[in-house]
Structure 1
Amino acid sequence: MRIDIIDTVAGLEAVRDNWDQVFMDDPDAQHFLSWIWLKNYLSRRRRWFILALRERDPDSPYVAFFPLRLITHLNEKTGLFYDEIIMAGNFAADYTGFIVRPDYEHHAIAGFASFIKHQNWTDLKLEYFSGPAGRHEKMIEALRGPEVMFRDSSPKNNENIDNTICPIVSLPASFDHYLEQRMSSQTRQKLRRFLRKVEGGDLYRITMATPETIHRDLDILFDLWRTKWSARKGAERTERLIITTREMLMDCFNNGNLEVPVFWYGDQPLGALANIVDRQKKAILFYITGRDENWKTPSPGLILHGYCIRRAIEQGFKTYDFLRGNEPYKYMFGVEERHISCTLFRTRNGQNLHGALNPRSIRFVYEQALDMYRNGARGRAEIVFNQVLQSAPGHTGAGFGLANLLFDRGKLTEALAAYKALAEQAPDPTPIRMRLGDTQLALHQYDQAAETFRLVGEVGPHLIQAHYKRGIALVAGKRLAEAEAAFAAIRDVHSDDPAALDYVAKANAALERIQASAEPTPHKTDVVSETIARWNRGWQLSERRRPRLH
């Protein structure tokens, strides 16, 4: 067996037919592991990757898919970053895990676990992991090792709701059969009476969202949901959840996989549901609801769920899934329980396995180091630049960051050596050579600085800053005729870039000083000292504050 990595939308699109076949072959596959749901969800996220298992023959089809995602955190105590592998659908999917053809279950567990154990991570979270009986235990056994420990990480809440229990209704052939076999006589009579009231009068009605009403209907749902949950979850978190949930639900709606029934009393909305429709597995997944908490009877929740269950039966669906959470009201609908699990694996030393960042997090961590540097947290940036270099030897950006720190601390000789080495290995040495030239100027190596800036100017004629600094170096080296020619060339530049225009103005001023120094006047200016002094003032005010990194 072999494992390939899919980590682009194009790669995911290329395996759609294969994925759909495995999804249908796996009797325990859930909609949140379907190709259509994951494609939309992952398209909006970064650093996800899918383990795809198949026979060694490169032409053989894939037999299992395991969607994962990488998240990276900063350890505030050590200043180092560490990686966490989570299920790809976490934060939106009620079920996670992998899909597999049943005859490859053992191969999938062994292959996926072996791959994960060879990755660099501190935490591995199998949250809301679903599958047939025994899959969870076999995964734990396959992932165990001397360097990691594990524990149950099922979330706790104040309402004593167990989110690893998922109530589900297996739908019979008729609604009458469902009412007789699954509901208590009291609930059955109440639901029938309420549905007659909805369908036989003018005051109560249920509407289903259409392309014209979907935004209004979701507004209703989330307004009602916000009223109930904002105080408990906090206003900021509530709004963040609404934004991300709405985005996901709209993806489902645009794919034809969402129903939003709204229960009305006249023009007053009393409640709304968002039900994801899994047409492949013939399942309705109740995802979120909002209801008027002040309205008591008829019960919006009972009416909406009863209406949707009847509709699902009429359309030939097999299950009505209440998803995570064993809230008491779900049990009036005659549910059975499906169990999922949450397990946290953590390295015993609290650091990434193999002592290095995950390759997929290198760029992210490097960008964090750049932000630290730009925001003045130089000590923290140094730690992270070194971590990047340790994990990715030869990383030019991290080496450049460390060289800039040497320059900032006045360690010019060390900075000079670092810049020279980096300029030899960088694919684009221009930013490094600019800093190399600055360092040579600061060390009074004027001829070398002039040559460095000349090389930069040859590669990028539009880099006015390099031409100007070459002129400065030539002045400092008392090569005034060459400096005059360099500044004169800048004078004729036409640009809309304010920075370029600033250097044009500086070049004109320097040129005037050179020309004035050649005239016999009683109070001749020392053009070299004056030009260098002006450059030093400008460098202190701008260059040193905002060093260029790449």
Structure 2
Amino acid sequence: MAWADPARPQSHLRWRVKDMQIDVISDIQTLSSLRDDWDAVYEADPEAQFFLSSVWLFKHLERLDSPWFVLAAKPTNDAISYVGFFPLRLRLKTRENGEFYNEITMAGAPGADYTGFICVPGIVHDVAAAFATHIKTLNWADLNLTHVLASSERLNSLLRHFPRGSFRIGITSLVNTDGIDNSVCPRVELPKDWEVYLNNGLRPNLRQKIRRFLRHVETSHEFRITNTTAETIEHDIGTLLRLWEAQWGSRKGERLASIRKVARVMLMDCFDSGLLFLPVLWKDGVPIGALASLIDMKNKSLLFYMGGRMEGLNNPPPGLVLHAYSIRTAIAAGFATYDFLRGNEAYKYSFGADERHIRCIVVRTESGRNLGNRLDRRSLPLLLRQAIALHRAGRLDEAERVYRRASDLQPDCTMALYHLGQLMAVKGNHRAAEQLFKAVVVAEPAACKAWSMLARSLLAQAKLNEAAAAYQEIIRRQPTFPHAYYNLGVTQLKLGQHRDAVASFEAALDLQPDGTNARTAYAKAVAVARSAVLSTRIYEHNALERF
């Protein structure tokens, strides 16, 4: 199998400058418009790797559930082309005492095995200085540089701008509970010939096994290897995930569903971009192994991402066969490396792998608090998401605290005001709820839900005339909303405005509300209101007679 190398823009970017400007890009449309600049820098950068390619990263950014932003560097003496890009992500964290703070981390993590920034050669120090200078203007307590694959020179060119006294720099261990060190990334340097690889890269025993097993699979009617196609991709990814889950699912706990979902989407994205290699090993028509690798065309590298196999099979072992098959295919395609990505599992070294390392470094403010002693304003949707989840879980006091923190961050945030008003109403504090809902309808007069909630809080305080006015405002804005007429009628009955109530209930019924129960309720309301009108007439008549 051969992989085509798509045409890429040629890079002619060569500058030596000190003064840089940083633009912040936080939406995918703007970022996509800069794809040519990104690709030119990516091609020019000798340290650029697959997870920093536009074809992988842009799709990843689209699906992030927390704010992301890209720092884009350009020389101040050049108004057109960017010369460096640093993809980052904002997170909201909570300390044990309930205090919120922000973390800036790498936008690719945790999905990307490798992260970093890309830059035109020759100006790394200037670009890194500009990135660091801008980062220090933001509000954060932790800068989490996780899974960074970069030279010491490049990494130090960034870290040197976070001096002791203002910041603390630490290293995070990537050793998991099984003792696997995920900072170690084994990879095999591939020769140009398969036989050379077998003879020079492997121990004799493994060399004999690979030759025997591949020959057996490829000549036997019992076994076959298929490569995924547009017709089989959905099934093949499903097979891979099912086999992987059978092996590893029990160890992933609550993260299993998320891992499965993210992997499926990412693998489909890579397939759609022509950057997925997914062979499946079959025995008697049953899939017994599958192995997904990502194709890094720039670095001519095949990146082993995920594998799954049916356990208990050793003749041949599915994992060994599929790795050998993938390496042979990569060599035939002229690739330079077979990358096992993160983790120093022993089996990887049997294929002749050597090591390179990634680093996880945390830069922390000396005070442990956000720079500027305030939250990043981009935290607002994260605060609201947390508060709403607490609210729905019935943890009202905690939810109130987070809503109020959101309101502190942005006092005119109508979503925070509205949800806090709902919570106050649930707590029975209708006076506070009234004030919050009034603030919402002043800011957004067309917010009929807020008008409705305001009317409820007014009713709860027996402010009947104001409640009726709120329902009338809803009707003015949504004249075909039957329930608003019904609620207005109920309020008018309480006010003794029986004739007006009849008109409101009849209007509700005339709008033909959905559902038998609603129509029945509205019809009964009409009858009750008419009865009230009749009773009033009788009372008035008797009063006149007595007079």
**TM-score of the alignment, normalized to the shorter chain, above 0.5:** yes
Name the TM-score class by shorter chain.
Answer: 0.7 to 0.9
Counterpart secondary structure, 1:10: helix
Work out which of the residue numbers 358, 362, 367 in structure 2 matches 1:340. 358
Counterpart secondary structure, 2:58: helix
How far apart are the structure 2 equivalents of 1:94 and 1:407?
Answer: 47
Question: Counterpart in 2 of 1:392?
Answer: 410
Q: Aligned letter for 1:386?
A: R
Q: Which stretch shifts more, 248-257 or 201-210?
A: 201-210
Equivalent runs, 1:265-344 vs 2, <5 Å: 266-267=284-285, 269-344=287-362
Is 1:21–2:37 an aligned residue pair? no
Q: Aligned letter for 2:479?
A: P
Work out which of the residue numbers 75, 84, 87 in structure 2 matches 1:67. 87
- Give unmatched runs, 5+ long, in structure 2: 1-19, 543-547
Q: Which stretch shifts more, 255-264 or 80-89?
A: 80-89
Work out which of the residue numbers 362, 374, 380 in structure 1 matches 2:398. 380
Q: Aligned letter for 2:390?
A: M
Could you report, residue by residue, the CA deviation over 1:337-373 in whole angstroms, capped at 9, with x for unpaired residues? 2211012344556554434433233123224323433
Q: Aligned letter for 1:320?
A: Y
Is 1:90–2:118 an aligned residue pair? no
Is 1:156–2:175 an aligned residue pair? yes
How far apart are the structure 2 equivalents of 1:245 and 1:125?
Answer: 23
How far apart are the structure 1 equivalents of 2:511 and 2:100?
Answer: 46
Question: Counterpart in 2 of 1:547?
Answer: none
Is 1:106–2:125 an aligned residue pair? yes
- Displacement of 1:294 in angstroms is 2.4
Question: Counterpart in 1 of 2:536?
Answer: 518
How far apart are the structure 2 equivalents of 1:440 and 1:241?
Answer: 48
Work out which of the residue numbers 45, 49, 54 in structure 1 matches 2:69. 49
Counterpart secondary structure, 1:394: coil
- Displacement of 1:375 in angstroms is 4.4
Work out which of the residue numbers 361, 366, 377 in structure 2 matches 1:359. 377
Q: Aligned letter for 1:102?
A: P
| Normalised TM-score (structure 1) | 0.83
Work out which of the residue numbers 212, 223, 247 in structure 2 matches 1:228. 247
- Displacement of 1:492 in angstroms is 2.5
Question: Counterpart in 1 of 2:278?
Answer: 260
- Note if contact 2:45-2:119 (Cα within 8 Å) is conserved in structure 1: yes
Equivalent runs, 1:112-127 vs 2, <5 Å: 112-127=131-146
- Note if contact 2:24-2:71 (Cα within 8 Å) is conserved in structure 1: yes
How far apart are the structure 2 equivalents of 1:478 and 1:435?
Answer: 23
Q: CA RMSD in A?
A: 3.4
Sequence identity percentage: 39
- Displacement of 1:512 in angstroms is 1.6
Equivalent runs, 1:398-417 vs 2, <5 Å: 398-407=416-425, 411-417=429-435
How far apart are the structure 2 equivalents of 1:522 and 1:451?
Answer: 28
Q: Which stretch shifts more, 148-157 or 265-274?
A: 265-274
- Displacement of 1:58 in angstroms is 7.8
Could you report, residue by residue, the CA deviation over 1:15-45 in whole angstroms, capped at 9, with x for unpaired residues? 2222221111111111111111123323333
How far apart are the structure 1 equivalents of 2:157 and 2:187?
Answer: 25
Q: Aligned letter for 1:360?
A: R
Q: Aligned letter for 1:157?
A: N
| Normalised TM-score (structure 2) | 0.83
Counterpart secondary structure, 2:61: helix
- Note if contact 1:149-1:346 (Cα within 8 Å) is conserved in structure 2: yes
Change (3 A) 1:512 1:277: same
Change (3 A) 1:374 1:323: closer
Change (3 A) 1:64 1:465: same
- Note if contact 2:176-2:182 (Cα within 8 Å) is conserved in structure 1: no
Work out which of the residue numbers 239, 263, 282 in structure 2 matches 1:245. 263
How far apart are the structure 2 equivalents of 1:249 and 1:107?
Answer: 36
- Displacement of 1:413 in angstroms is 4.9
- Displacement of 1:127 in angstroms is 1.4
- Note if contact 2:115-2:148 (Cα within 8 Å) is conserved in structure 1: yes
Matched pairs, number: 522
Is 1:492–2:510 an aligned residue pair? yes
Question: Counterpart in 1 of 2:202?
Answer: 183
Change (3 A) 1:82 1:175: same
